[in-house]
Amino acid sequence: CNAGITEVTSQNFDEVVGGHKHVLLNFYAPWCGHCKTLAPEYEILGKEFEANSKVTIARVNGAQEVRLSTQFGVRG
């Protein structure tokens, strides 16, 4: 877990995304080159918004959470 970034799974998806906060949700795969390139910038974003009570920076490991990836049409 990275500071400021909420790890989303099928178990906590509704709780994280269905609340009253704005959520920026990134689907990623650990093997994806573009995802690896984005990761450091996303971590900076997570740290910058960590104390913001109105915004959640979150991510889904699409390789592990196949149901969520399929539900939202995310493909690699």
| Residues tagged active-site | 32-35
Q: 50 near 3, Cβ under 8 Å?
A: yes
Cα separation, 31 vs 61, whole angstroms? 10
Checking phi first, is residue 69 left (phi over 0); if not, alpha (psi -120 to 50) or beta? Answer: alpha
